[in-house]
Structure 1
Amino acid sequence: MEALLASTFTVAIAEIGDKTQLLALILAARFKNKTAIILGIFLSTLVNHFAAAWLGQWAISWISPEMGRYLVAASFFAIALWVLIPDKVDAEESRFYAMGPFLATFILFFIAEMGDKTQIATVVLSAKYDALAMVVMGTTLGMLIANVPVVIAGHFSAEKLPMNWIHRGCAVLFALLGVATLVF
């Protein structure tokens, strides 16, 4: 249960102001079928984060538990710093719009998540908790918690949120996860 809650909370917070959240806003403005967009986000995240969580579990199995603990903690500290750098959405997504809201969302979210903070966090969380299903469910739920309201509201803008404070708070969260990994 700890893996599910930590994964959900961590990704939901990290996703605020992230490029995939901005992408959700763009897709919501572009397409009327909000259900197709939400389903695309869900399935894309599920596939992407399953692969990331599996990679985390596979990678941690090759090293000693002590070394793994240090690598996971270092990864959390690195993500804490990375979160402080704001994301921007690339303008190339327009070529996928002709595929319709579901496929465009699925493909664009999958691509946007590659190497993204939340994907790397999924790898690290999976390595830390050794609970693949709970981490994947949690990170996917965290993505939905952060993105579904943006899709439904459509007109809502992430620019209205105090992004500097959100990024700082998220950085503190990842740093605390790093410290907790070292201490516990």
Structure 2
Amino acid sequence: GKKEILSKTPLTASFLTVLVSEFGDKTQIASGLLAAKYLAPVPIFIGFVLALAVAIGFNVFVGSKIAGRIPRKTIKIITAILFILFGLFTILY
């Protein structure tokens, strides 16, 4: 049905992935703290949106360039290793 189609589009998949994964994230907490400190939610929102757009834009660009050159399974393994390393780094530091 319609729900299956929406969940398979790149826009919906990326939106839901980021929405769910960012809840409780350091970036979300930092944005709330800065908004409380400066009492200026609009500039804080714009700053965070621009920063995330640059960071994610870079990742999308790199991902699109390597997608055809590296086998999908290798990309999944590298991604899993990076997640584990970032998780360990977060725990240890």
Q: Structure 2 length as normaliser, TM-score?
A: 0.70
In the alignment, is residue 16 of structure 1 matched against residue 19 of structure 2? no
Q: 2:24 and 2:86 mapped to 1: Cα distance?
A: 10
1:21 Cα shift?
Answer: 1.0
Higher RCO structure (Cα 8 Å, ≥6 apart): 1
Instruction: Give the Cα–Cα distance (whole angstroms) in 2 for the partners of residues 25 and 73 of structure 1.
Output: 33
Residues 14 and 83, structure 1, Cα contact 8 Å, conserved in 2:
no
In structure 2, the residue matched to 1:60 is 67
The amino acid that maps onto 1:32 is L
Task: Give the residue type in structure 1 aligned to 2:14.
Answer: S
1:93 match:
none
Note the residue ranges of structure 1 that are not aligned, 5 or more in a row.
89-184
Structure 1 segments of 4+ aligned residues over 3 angstroms from their partners: 76-79, 81-85
Instruction: Give the structure-1-normalised TM-score.
Output: 0.38
Task: Quote the residue 2:44 is aligned against.
Answer: 37
**3-state DSSP of counterpart to 1:61:** coil
| Cα distance in 1 between the residues matched to 2:52 and 2:34 | 16
Change (3 A) 1:33 1:22: same
1:126 alignment partner in structure 2 = none
Residues 11, 61 of structure 1: alpha-carbon distance in 2 compared, 3 angstrom cutoff: same
Unmatched tracts of structure 2, length 5 or more:
1-5
Q: Cα distance 1:12–1:84, how it changes in 2: closer, same or farther (>3 A)?
A: farther
Q: Which position in structure 2 is the counterpart of 1:3?
A: 10
**What do you get for the CA RMSD once the two structures are aligned?**
2.7
